[in-house]
């Protein structure tokens, strides 16, 4: 049975104070425990299937960190059209009915101070993802969808409302109003959510937390390119534009980005590169320039036949470009021509993060740890977080140095660049020995 920490109605959850609910905690390593949002009929903070949204929480485990917070967006891809979202609504990515009572993560989210010395003792929050579009869905009326079972089911796109109610709950009952230092993060679709909502969360916390001194954002593996496939097909852009419209995400994205683009172009604010270009808060992306999800599901993908009126819940077709299956999943299996194309993707990534960022990449106080390891969500892995390095500096060390900086350092002092793969006639291909 799913546990819910029971709080009063204030703030959208029910029960007692968090520090009492979990008992003595200093010096302990605790999992995060599930909290279900309450009063969702009024707030609309529900998952795709209409079940309540929720989050996991663990209090600070050291008195010195009682007012330090790490807030994390859970990832899990996207759904791209009505049937795809219907299928998702029957899983834990679209329904809260099967969420486990506790959660624990590694890497920069680890409670183990040997792995994660900077953030191990923080208050930790994990926002559960169940709206299908990186917490940006904001549609009033449910979409009535006839599923593959022949039955009509209402789907709710309410990710922004889940975010809002979670912040209210944390402020009302968990001590967020006393926060002094806050790191916002998330991985994959949650990494994209971090890009999309960094300024919004910063604005909301600035209103609710008068004691806040530091707010920084470190998206993990969330910079998905608005990029055609190797066959020059705009597969991923088509998918993301459709879910943007279906979820009514115009009012759930970066306000400055939405205001800057024409109505017909605003769907592009659903991409990290556009949200990033308009982000004002201090931010340090942690990403591979040859991300393993992107090489399979953006660069070598295909649309599901019949999209958007498909008869399957397949979430796109990854690694489907002819002759690219092995290479897309392992660069060591790439031919010389294929590895040159992979290197072009890395160069396109650099172009979009740096040249297309309207100065954000070079803004004082910002940073970026971009490497070439063919991985995804590596900052959540204990080993990779402390092993992957650029110019002798590990991801953990780079993040630590940036986090502890005053916020006025030149961005170049906290920026790390990827290398290009070896494009000789045969392997090895990898250019970074720490991968």
425 lies in a domain? no
Strand partners, 155: 143
pLDDT for residue 355 is more than 90: no
Looking at the domain assignment, is residue 424 inside a domain? Answer: no
Predicted confidence band of residue 21 (pLDDT cuts 50, 70, 90): very low
The values of phi and psi at residue 356, to 5°, are -100, 10
What percent of the chain stands above pLDDT 90?
A: 89
Q: Any idea of the CA torsion for 129, 131, 134, 138, to the nearest 10 degrees? A: -130
Residue 428: asked if its preceding bond is cis (omega within 30°), the reply is yes
Whether 370 maps to a domain, the answer reads: yes
E strand or H helix that includes residue 389: strand 389-390
* pLDDT 10s digits, 32-66: 999 999 999 999 999 999 999 999 999 999 999 99
Grouping H, G, I as helix, E, B as strand and the rest as coil, residue 369 is strand
In the block, residue with structure tokens 């590596």 = 378
Strand, helix or coil at 272?
Answer: helix
In a domain, 16, yes or no: yes
Mean pLDDT taken over the chain: 92
Residues 6+ apart with CB under 8 A from 196: 134, 135, 136, 252, 253, 254, 269, 270, 272, 275
Phi, psi of 102 (to 5 degrees): -145, 160
Q: In terms of C-beta density within 10 A (0-12 exposed, 13-18 middle, 19 or more buried), how is residue 332 classed? A: middle
Res. 310 pLDDT band, cuts 50 70 90: confident
Q: Which contacts of 113-120 are long-range, i.e. CB under 8 A and separated by 24 or more positions?
A: 115/382, 115/385, 115/386, 116/385, 116/396, 117/396, 117/400, 118/399, 118/400, 118/403, 118/404, 119/68, 119/70, 119/183, 120/61
For residue 273, say if its preceding peptide bond is cis, omega within 30 degrees of 0. no
pLDDT digits over 266-298, tens only? Answer: 999 999 999 999 999 999 999 999 999 999 999
Q: Which pLDDT does position 359 carry in this prediction?
A: 87
Residue 422 lies in a domain: no
Nearest to 105 by CA among 387, 435, 382: 382
Residue 265 in this model has a pLDDT that exceeds 80: yes
Would you tell me how many other CB atoms lie within 10 Å of the CB of residue 402? 24
Give the burial class of 128: count Cβ atoms within 10 A of its Cβ; 0-12 exposed, 13-18 middle, 19 or more buried: buried
Note whether residue 435 is domain-resident.
no
Question: How far is the first Cα of the chain from the last one, in angstroms, to the nearest whole number?
Answer: 40
Q: What DSSP assignment string belongs to 106-170?
A: -GGG-S-TTT-TTTTTSEEEEEPP-SSSTT----SSPEEEE-TTS-EEEE---HHHHHHHHHHHH
Alpha-carbon distance of 319 to 300, in angstroms, equals 5
How far is the CA of 6 from the CAs of 42, 72, 128, 170, 345, in angstroms? Answer: 18, 22, 18, 13, 48
Q: Using CA atoms, how far apart are residues 32 and 71, in angstroms rounded to an integer?
A: 12
Range of the domain at 232: 10-416
User: Is 421 inside any structural domain?
Assistant: no
Number of domains in the chain: 1
Which among 187, 184, 136 is positioned nearest to 292, based on CA atoms? 187
DSSP 8-state class, residue 260 = H
What's the average model confidence in pLDDT over 102-127? Answer: 97
Q: What is the pLDDT of residues 66-103, one digit of tens each?
A: 999 999 999 999 999 999 999 999 999 999 999 999 99
Question: Is residue 24 pLDDT above 70, yes or no?
Answer: no
- Tell me the per-residue pLDDT of 212-252, one tens digit each, with 9 for 90 and over: 999 999 999 999 999 999 999 999 999 999 999 999 999 89
- pTM assigned to the model: 0.93
Output the domain CATH number for residue 86: 3.40.50
> Residue 16 above 70 pLDDT?
no
171 belongs to a structural domain: yes
Q: What pLDDT sits at residue 30?
A: 67
Per the CB < 8 A criterion, the answer to whether 3 and 33 are in contact is yes
Predicted confidence at residue 315, as pLDDT, reads 85
């Amino acid at each position: 049975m799913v546990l819910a920490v029971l709080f009063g109605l204030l703030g959208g959850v029910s029960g007692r104070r968090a520090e009492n609910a979990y008992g003595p905690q200093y010096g302990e390593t605790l999992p995060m425990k599930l909290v279900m949002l309450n009063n969702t009929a009024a707030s609309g903070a529900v998952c795709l299937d209409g079940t309540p949204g929720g989050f996991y929480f663990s209090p600070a485990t050291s008195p010195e960190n009682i007012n330090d917070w790490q807030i994390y967006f859970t990832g899990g891809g996207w759904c791209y059209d009505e049937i795809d979202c219907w299928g998702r609504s029957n899983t834990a990515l679209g329904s809260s009915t099967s969420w486990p009572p506790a959660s624990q993560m590694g890497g920069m989210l680890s409670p183990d101070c040997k792995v994660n010395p900077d953030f191990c003792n923080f208050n930790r929050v994990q926002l559960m993802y169940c709206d299908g579009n990186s917490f940006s869905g904001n549609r009033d009326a449910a979409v009535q969808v006839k599923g593959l079972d022949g039955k009509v089911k209402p789907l709710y796109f309410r990710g922004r409302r889940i975010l809002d109610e979670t912040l209210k709950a944390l402020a009302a009952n968990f001590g967020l109003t006393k926060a002094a230092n806050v790191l916002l993060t998330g991985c994959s679709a949650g990494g994209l959510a971090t890009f999309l909502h960094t300024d919004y969360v910063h604005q909301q916390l600035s209103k609710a937390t008068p004691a806040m001194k530091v707010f920084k954002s470190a998206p993990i593996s969330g910079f998905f390119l608005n990029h055609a496939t190797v066959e020059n097909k705009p597969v991923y852009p088509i998918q993301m534009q459709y879910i943007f419209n279906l979820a009514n995400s115009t009012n759930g994205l970066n306000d400055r980005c939405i205001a800057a683009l024409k109505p017909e172009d605003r769907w592009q604010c659903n991409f990290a590169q556009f949200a990033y270009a308009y982000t004002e808060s201090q931010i340090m992306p942690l990403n591979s320039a040859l991300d393993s999800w992107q090489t399979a599901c953006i660069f070598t993908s295909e649309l599901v036949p019949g999209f958007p009126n498909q008869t399957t819940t397949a979430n796109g077709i990854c690694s489907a470009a002819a002759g690219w299956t092995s290479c897309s999943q392992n660069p060591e299996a790439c031919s010389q021509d294929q590895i040159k194309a992979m290197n072009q993707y890395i160069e396109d990534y650099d172009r979009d993060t740096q040249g297309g960022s309207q100065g954000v990449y070079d803004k004082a106080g910002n940073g970026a740890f971009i490497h070439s390891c063919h991985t995804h969500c590596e900052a959540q892995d204990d080993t990779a977080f402390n092993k992957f390095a650029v110019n002798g500096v590990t991801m953990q060390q780079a993040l630590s140095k940036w986090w502890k900086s005053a916020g006025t350092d030149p961005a170049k002092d906290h920026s790390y660049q990827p290398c290009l793969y070896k494009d000789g006639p045969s392997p090895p291909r990898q250019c970074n020995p720490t991968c």
